[in-house]
Amino acid sequence: MNAFGVGGQDEFGKHRMIVLDMPGYGKGGRAEWGKEIMKYLEKRKELKRAFLLLEAEHGIKETDRQILALFQEHSIPFQIVLAKADKILLPGSRYPSQQALDGRFANLREYMDAVREVLSDLELEQTEVGEVLACSSEKRVEGRLLGIDAVRFAMLSAVGLESKDRSSLPAAVEVVAFEDLVYTTDTSPA
């Protein structure tokens, strides 16, 4: 597991959010990792949300269903993230036409709806948190990584850092254009 402190520190010097990157349970995973991860998730009182990353083009597999059942059994709040959405949206090396891209976005929405349907069939709604998200960390569209901002926002929302308390922000000040500034040559003390 890798841990990352995010969002600054509170008045006691503790990180406002800690993101844990845990190993997967797929082809390269080990059973003992899964047991330790579940022990951690079950006992971590401060846990706000687990993000389960699924490959967008594969949807929910049987192993994912097992993890979701464990989340349900132990009342672990979670959110689904369909990773590698670029494999659906931008499968080739060329950027598609707008019409083709629109069709691929429709396909991605269908994948997301299928995941929601599986979650509904599994009766997991009470521990499901938020929307099913899709993202890509590989290919950019208009200079941005697809869905990464939505995932970041969901993470910040989970711990209440999505917006700052405006009462602690400094008061607004008057903005004056440079040409409107009045200079004096008087150097006597005020």
d(CA 122, CA 113): 14
**Which domains are assigned to the chain?**
2-180 (3.40.50.300)
Q: Which of 77, 59, 186 is nearest to 126 (CA)?
A: 77
pTM of the predicted structure, to 2 decimals:
0.73
Q: Which of 134, 140, 144, 139 is nearest to 111 (CA)?
A: 134
| Confidence (pLDDT) at 73 | 85
Q: What is the pLDDT along the chain (190 residues), one digit of tens a residue?
A: 788 887 777 777 777 788 888 877 666 666 677 778 888 888 888 888 999 999 888 878 888 888 888 888 888 889 999 999 888 888 877 778 888 888 888 988 888 888 888 888 777 655 556 788 999 888 777 778 888 888 988 988 888 877 655 555 445 555 545 555 544 444 555 4
Asked whether the beta carbons of 79 and 154 are under 8 A apart, the reply is yes
Instruction: Using DSSP, state whether 140 is helix, strand or coil.
Output: strand
| Confidence (pLDDT) at 183 | 47
pLDDT, one tens digit per residue, over 122-150 is 776 555 567 889 998 887 777 788 888 88
Residue 162 in tokens: 């999505």
